[in-house]
Chain A
Amino acid sequence: MSSLEIRAEPQELRRASAWLQERGERLAVPADQIDRLEVCLNEVLANLLEHGGTPVASQPIRLRLEGITPPAGAGVRLVISDAGVPFDPLVVSDKPLPASLDEASPGGLGLRLVRAYTDGMAYRVHEDRNELSIEMHWSPRS
């Protein structure tokens, strides 16, 4: 199954993770890439559950994973579509890394992970839904 619909509930994050791992294996995505993509998926979905508001709970969240051909090597694109409050993660900048525990703040960690782990992100509003695309690229192994 190349796509999945989930409800905006914490337990559904694990169903989404299991689907991603299974689908990634079918598409021959390297294990380290799929593990990073799983972190990204988890962070985006957790963010939706926390900040998506009432609209996100009213309609399913749709996930799609597809193989792509980047300029060099191979890749996959994960598309996350939701009916929550519009939010473009690309316009939010990362806070500086804390120099001490005292300076550490809990916010922004998830988005920092997503930015660090992906090779490409795109956001648009399509048919009244947020659509976030996350790409992972890798070189074929000899």
Chain B
Amino acid sequence: MTTTSIEHEDLAEDLRRIRLSGRLDMVGVGEIEMRFTSLAASRPMRVLVDLTGVSFLASVGLRCIIHSAKALEQKGGKMVLLLGDNTVVRGTLDTVGVSEIIPVCHDEASAMDALAG
């Protein structure tokens, strides 16, 4: 069973990429939630959340992402989700309507366009 990890890279002063990998279940989210919230929603910026390496996404993971996206938007920032060809995660996002309220992109170029818009 895969573990959960979080990495980040500042691509510009106001642009951050956060890469989540592994299982976003109750255990996995418990491991990364504080760091994710701190990285994603502490100041107004553009945040690209890369979910291409996420193997399992439960509602506890969705809640974590929605909570940070909401806090970021309230600060004047914007979050975009990058999925690549991760159909498992895409199905979950579509089912609960998250892809209607947080932009979801298949490749990095379109994610950057969405963040610029």
- Count of chain A residues with Cβ under 8 Å from any Cβ of B? 29
Within 8 A of A (CB), among B10-42: 23, 25-27, 30
B97 touches A97 (CB 8 A): yes
Q: Is the CB of A46 within 8 A of B59?
A: yes
A39 contacts B92, CB within 8 Å?
yes
List residues of A whose CB falls within 8 A of some B CB. 10-11, 13-14, 17-18, 35-36, 38-39, 42-43, 46, 49, 97-104, 106, 109-110, 112-113, 116-117
Q: Check B25 against A14 for contact (C-beta < 8 Å).
A: yes
B70 adjacent to A110 (CB under 8 Å): no
Whether A13 and B73, one on each chain, are in contact in the complex, defined by CB atoms closer than 8 angstroms, is: no
Which residues on the B side are within 8 Å of A18 (C-beta)? 1
Tell me the minimal C-beta distance from A140 to chain B in angstroms: 22
Taking CB atoms, residues of chain A closer than 8 Å to B6 are none
Q: Are the CB atoms of A104 and B70 closer together than 8 Å?
A: yes
Contacts of B1 in A (CB 8 A): 14, 17-18
Decide yes or no: A10 and B92 within 8 Å by CB, A101-B101, A106-B63 being known contacts.
no
Q: Is the interface of A mostly helix, strand, loop or mixed?
A: helix
Q: Are the C-beta atoms of B66 and A101 separated by less than 8 Å?
A: yes
Interchain CA distance A13-B25 in the complex, whole Å: 9
Residues on the B chain within 8 Å of A38, using CB: 56
Q: In which size bucket is the chain B interface?
A: 20 to 34
Near A by CB (< 8 A), chain B positions 67-105 give 67, 69-70, 73, 88, 91-92, 95-98, 100-102
Q: How far is the CA of A43 from the CA of B60 in the complex (A)?
A: 9
Contacting residue for A46 out of B58, B91, B98, CB 8 A:
B58
Residue of B nearest to A42 (CB): B58
In the complex, which residues of chain B have a beta carbon less than 8 angstroms from the beta carbon of A116? 95
Which A residues lie within 8 Å of B88 (CB)? 35
> Can you name 23 A-B residue pairings with CB atoms under 8 Å?
A10-B26, A10-B27, A10-B30, A11-B27, A14-B27, A42-B58, A43-B59, A46-B59, A46-B60, A97-B97, A98-B97, A98-B101, A101-B69, A101-B101, A102-B73, A103-B101, A104-B70, A106-B67, A109-B62, A109-B96, A112-B96, A113-B95, A117-B95
